[in-house]
Amino acid sequence: MKADISNFEDIVLFVDSFYSKVNTDELIGPVFDLVVTDWNPHLSKMYDFWNAVLFGVAGFKGNPFARHAPLPLQKAHFERWLLLFEQTINEHFSGALADETKKKAGMMAEMFLSKLAHMKGGSDKVIV
């Protein structure tokens, strides 16, 4: 049986595994390629982000929505992001915090999509 997410090392594992999938994904990989030229700072920021979200550890600085707002994103991008994220968590973990992590990711994707659609006139299909 897989263990639950329990520490920073687990965050590093799922973030690295997730972005490995993202890098090779034909739908969302090209979007990341538009803005991420050096993956190390991005991964480090994601470790801090999830450490703050899951364990309340201070250290994340940034505005995730502002970073996503100018990108050419559509509903399908968020759906793929969430699918890959949930697959990654399920591959490595099982338990209450793993379930909560997937739930939080889903809520973030929904919130981002909603805010982007509102900014672009209410469409959830084309957000650019």
Please report the pLDDT score of residue 70 as a whole number.
Answer: 66
Task: Compute the distance between CA of residue 53 and CA of residue 70 in angstroms, rounded to an integer.
Answer: 24
Query: What are phi and psi for residue 67, nearest 5 degrees?
Result: -70, -30
Q: Domains of the chain by range and CATH?
A: 8-119 (1.10.490.10)
Per-residue confidence in pLDDT tens, the chain, 128 aa: 799 999 999 999 999 999 999 999 999 999 999 888 999 999 999 999 999 999 999 988 887 776 767 677 888 999 999 999 999 999 999 999 999 999 999 999 998 888 887 776 655 444 43
What does pTM read for this prediction?
0.88
Other beta carbons within 10 Å of 113: 20
Please report the pLDDT score of residue 1 as a whole number.
Answer: 79
Residue partners of 100: CB distance under 8 A and separation at least 6: 54
